[in-house]
Amino acid sequence: MLSSKQERIGQYFSNKKDVKTAYIKLKAAIEYAESYPGNQLAVARLEKAEEAFSKSVKDYWGCEATQSSIDEVKESIEKISLLRQKAARIKKDKKFLNLFHKTSLSSTEREYLEVRFAAYGFINPYAAEQFLLKAGLIN
């Protein structure tokens, strides 16, 4: 899981509309530049997107934002978006959630849960429970 500081930074900046749009444009520019490495248009687009992202972060963080802090924001937003995607995938898996709440399980149900734990990247049921609590999928 993420450290609480990184979570807070990612959640704060991913909820800011202009930072989020700048981040989305930056990710698209990175993907485009990786697809066409020798293309000058791709390089220019990437530079413009990086400038827009750093400007939007500096607008919220103030003038003391350094390149390392901007990179930290970028990593935090990326990790938060991955966690949100993971939570959305789990939320769609109704069978997994129903079995997770069930107290007595048959052997096939236990096997299914173990397979789903591995598929979602959880080491043990406690880690899954902590993630589901943070994501608000269980009470």
pLDDT in tens, 44-81: 999 999 999 999 998 887 767 788 888 988 999 998 88
pLDDT at 1: 47
How buried is 87 (Cβ within 10 angstroms: 0-12 exposed, 13-18 middle, 19+ buried)?
middle
pLDDT in tens, 5-54: 888 888 888 888 999 999 999 999 999 999 998 899 999 999 999 999 99
C-alpha span between 76 and 56 (Å, rounded): 15
Domain ranges of the chain: 1-83, 93-139
pLDDT in tens, 97-112: 888 888 788 889 889 9
